[in-house]
Amino acid sequence: MSGHTTSLRLKLPLLCLLLQLLTIILFASFVRYNDQTSPKLWHKELELHNKSHLDHEFYIRYPSFQDVHTMIFVGFGFLMTFLKRYSFSSVAFNFLIAAFAIQWSILMQGFFHSFHQGKIYVGIESMINADFCAGAVLISFGAVLGKTSPVQLLLMTWLEVMLFACNEYILLNVLGAKDAGGSMTIHTFGAYFGLMTSRVLYRPHLDKSKERDGSTYHSDLFAMIGTIFLWLFWPSFNSAITAHGDDQQRTVMNTYFSLAASTLATFAASAFVNTGGKLDMVHIQNAALAGGVVVGTSGEMALTPFGAMIAGVLAGFISTLGFKFLTVGDLANCGGNVPFVTP
């Protein structure tokens, strides 16, 4: 797959097993089923509160969880297949680091957010939050795409998840910010962490791998699979852990309108800035998603449909222009990709 083959033969297996073993030991020590997942606790709750099985949080949250899960593994996985000689590695490494990130973040988020009497109690919301954290790692992955070995990626994941949980704790619990769709905790954090990692890992001899940065017609199509699935399920991403009822409905609707408006703005900006009015696939990929991020923090507010559209238009426009006129070193690639123009 990539270079460094001899050391990979041992390093990658050892690191995978070490991290997995550490995770298992910490899970055995600290992680327990919460009151909705443990048979004993749930049946007690059923009796005490005169509830029915259908009042289980699972039936409210599971469809949203599966949408988010699809975004993490299909959306991000295929979004980064556009580098023609790196497509398969992108999907595979995305799979590996997301699979580790969700386990590790259950622990780290648990220690910071739901540590009661020495235990972490997990349920469907823990799974959604773990997927969110994996999203931040994958945004950072985008910034170092094609420049790192799977060993480095696993180590980056290990570190980033810990810092993510810490940053999230400070923002949400200490400073009391609201950020249901994770614009700050997930997208901004992931982008900055990725840029930082990209500098730390920078090795001059890897520059010759630049020729791998081209795309082919088919790798662009694979990348559109990722784009579309991310775009589709963004309303679920922003609403997956908001309060029940009207809040969840409003977040979905605001995100839906913001994304739609952002798409038109992106196509407009992309055709305008490119020579000959050609559309640039990478603009489309990233900027169309800007509409989801921009209402991530404020999704449940009563933005009104036209307010969400205005936010989406601005996000799509600014993001595309930023992509065109700023370079990698800047914050242009908040979406996490190396910018280039499709043929």
Looking at residues 222 to 261 of the shown chain, list those that interact with its own copies (rule: CB under 8 A): 222, 224-225, 228-229, 231-233, 236, 243-250, 252-253, 256-257, 259-261
Is residue 192 a contact point for its own copies (CB under 8 A)?
no
Q: Binding its own copies by CB under 8 A: which of 163, 306, 329, 331?
A: 306
Q: Binding its own copies by CB under 8 A: which of 108, 145, 287, 309?
A: 309
Q: Which of residues 193-222 bind its own copies (CB under 8 A)?
A: 217-218, 220-222
Work out the angle at residue 88's Cα, subtended by the Cα atoms of residues 86 and 89, and round it to the nearest 5 degrees.
65
The partner residues of 31 in beta bridges, in order of sequence, read 120
What is the strand order of the sheet 119-122 is part of? Answer: 31-33, 119-122, 115-116
The least CB distance from residue 228 to its own copies, in Å, is 5
The least CB distance from residue 163 to its own copies, in Å, is 21
28 or 48: CB nearest its own copies: 28
How far apart, in Å, are the Cα atoms of 148 and each of 6, 89, 158, 222, 225? 16, 11, 15, 21, 24
Residues 84, 138 contacting (CB under 8 angstroms): no
The least CB distance from residue 139 to its own copies, in Å, is 18
Quote the tokens at residue 202. Answer: 């920078």
Q: Binding its own copies by CB under 8 A: which of 73, 112, 158, 189?
A: 73
- The CB density around residue 57, as the number of other CB atoms within 10 Å, is 15
Question: Which run of H or of E encompasses 105?
Answer: helix 87-113
Q: Which of residues 267-286 bind its own copies (CB under 8 A)?
A: 267-269, 271-272, 274, 276-279, 281, 284
Which is nearest to 335 in space by CA: 231, 256, 210?
231
Q: Which part of the chain contacts its own copies (CB under 8 A), choosing from 31-39, 165-173, 183-191, 324-332?
A: 31-39
Q: Which of residues 83-102 bind its own copies (CB under 8 A)?
A: 87-88, 91-92, 95-96, 99-100, 102
Which is nearest to 309 in space by CA: 266, 260, 267?
260
Q: Binding its own copies by CB under 8 A: which of 83, 128, 186, 265?
A: 265
